[in-house]
Amino acid sequence: MHAQMLFSASRTRFIASIARFQNIGKRSMSVRPLKYEHLTNTPGESSPQKPAPQPPRKKVTIASLHALRQERTPITVLTAYDYPTARAASTHGIDITLVGDSLAQVCLGYSSTTSLTLDEMLHHCRAVARGTSAPLLVADMPFGSFYAGKEDTVRAAVRMLQEGNVEAVKLEGGSEIAGRVQALTSIGIPVMAHVGLLPQRHTALSGYRVQGRTAQSGRSILHSALALEEAGAFSIVLEAIPSSLAAYITSRLKVPTIGIGAGPGCSGQVLVWDDVMGTWAGHKAKFVRRFGDVKSEVERGVKAYASAVRNGSFPQHEKEGYGMDDGEIEKLLEMEGDREWTWSPPKLMSN
């Protein structure tokens, strides 16, 4: 009986404390807005207004890309390789996010894109997909994944859609791959084609050289683009070809063209993330324009962090550490039988 009475009394005190906590919360909610208004509203000043939330972007589709082409509104394409870069592209107006096989060089340190495997590409596709909402998500089919035949091409593309969660695939090649493109588009797998300079074939091309500078080679690129359009490609990338040739090909096609080093006459433009942000320390192509200087900021941040750790200014005990009651640390030392250990936070070292 005595135990029951103690339990009942404890329960009553607990409920009362909860009620007091709830009442405090209610009073805070009712009073704080009034205090805030009183402190911020002065004669002649209007109440501070929160910025209106931006409406969510509409999902970019193949149909909306064709509409942009018809309206002559340039299409924006940017590569992304992980969740943060995908989020940035999705948030700030990019129409197509491309998981480019350029990640072989800029992310994985390979000397060329030909070293990238399908499994490596799938890993990055999944990360980018998690950060992509509005843009159409396209990924490069890696070197060798569509060369053996139509069945292997379909099998690899299906993996990219199912496991990589992308919405379309991009294939490098001319009219010789039109049959494989048609094999994909006929079963509902959207394909972006890629003609002109083909980085996956850079060895056969004797390097990264401008293509289509003669009438014959330019005509070959044109006819490849027409064949790929006929095979069902919804868009075609034109890389490193003369501006006039790119503009003419664009005028002959009924699908959007995306230029990279192909001048302003295309339906849209694509660049590599690291070229845009200035983080790539390798060769800078003529057609690249750097829109940011992230490399310098990264270097500054890393150097500042290393310096702060070494000179003892990071972390600061009060601002960047957690406290423990003196009594508790003393109890711990007593439990351990340690009567000698002492510690006091280091003083901030002057620069």
pLDDT tens digits, one per residue of 155-210: 999 999 999 999 999 999 999 999 999 999 999 999 999 999 998 987 667 678 99
Tell me the pLDDT band of 304, cut-offs 50, 70 and 90. Answer: very high
Looking at residue 49, what is its pLDDT?
67
Q: Where are any strands of DSSP class E within 202-265?
A: 235-239, 257-260
pLDDT in tens, 4-58: 444 444 444 444 443 443 443 333 333 333 333 333 444 455 555 666 667 788 9
pLDDT in tens, 93-114: 999 999 999 999 999 999 999 9
- Asked whether residue 306 is domain-assigned, the answer is no
- pTM (predicted TM-score): 0.81
How many domains would you assign to the chain? 1
Q: Residue 212: pLDDT above 80?
A: yes
Looking at residue 176, what is its pLDDT?
96
Percent of the chain with pLDDT over 90: 70
Report the candidate in 134, 139, 128 with the shortest Cα–Cα distance to residue 60.
134
- Asked whether residue 161 is domain-assigned, the answer is yes
Distance from C-alpha of 272 to C-alpha of 279, rounded to nearest angstrom: 10
Strand partners for 77:
96, 270
Least confident of 53-57, 64-68, 226-230: 53-57
- Asked whether residue 113 is domain-assigned, the answer is yes
Q: Residue 348: pLDDT above 60?
A: yes
Distance from C-alpha of 184 to C-alpha of 180, rounded to nearest angstrom: 6
- Asked whether residue 348 is domain-assigned, the answer is no
Q: Distances in Å between the alpha carbon of 286 and those of 82, 210, 283?
A: 26, 11, 10
Tell me the pLDDT band of 323, cut-offs 50, 70 and 90. Answer: confident
Looking at residue 47, what is its pLDDT?
54
- Asked whether residue 19 is domain-assigned, the answer is no
- Asked whether residue 300 is domain-assigned, the answer is no
Please provide the DSSP assignment of 131-172 as one string. T-SSSEEEEEPPTTTTSS-HHHHHHHHHHHHHTS--SEEEEE
Report the candidate in 285, 236, 276, 239 with the shortest Cα–Cα distance to residue 88.
276
pLDDT in tens, 109-159: 999 999 999 999 999 999 999 999 999 999 999 999 999 899 999 999 999
Distance from C-alpha of 281 to C-alpha of 314, rounded to nearest angstrom: 30
Domain that holds residue 185: 62-292
Least confident of 30-34, 229-233, 253-257, 315-319: 30-34
Tell me the pLDDT band of 346, cut-offs 50, 70 and 90. Answer: confident
Average pLDDT for 229-234: 99
208 three-state secondary structure: coil
- Asked whether residue 201 is domain-assigned, the answer is yes
Contact (CB, 8 A) for 228 and 193: yes
CATH number at residue 129: 3.20.20.60
Round the average pLDDT of the chain to a whole number and report it: 87
- Asked whether residue 85 is domain-assigned, the answer is yes
Indicate which residues carry an active-site annotation: 239
Distance from C-alpha of 119 to C-alpha of 126, rounded to nearest angstrom: 11
Distance from C-alpha of 24 to C-alpha of 295, rounded to nearest angstrom: 50
Average pLDDT for 243-252: 98
**Residue carrying the six token digits 């002065």:** 42
Q: Distances in Å between the alpha carbon of 276 and those of 49, 78, 287?
A: 35, 9, 11
Report the candidate in 187, 203, 109, 105 with the shortest Cα–Cα distance to residue 154.
187
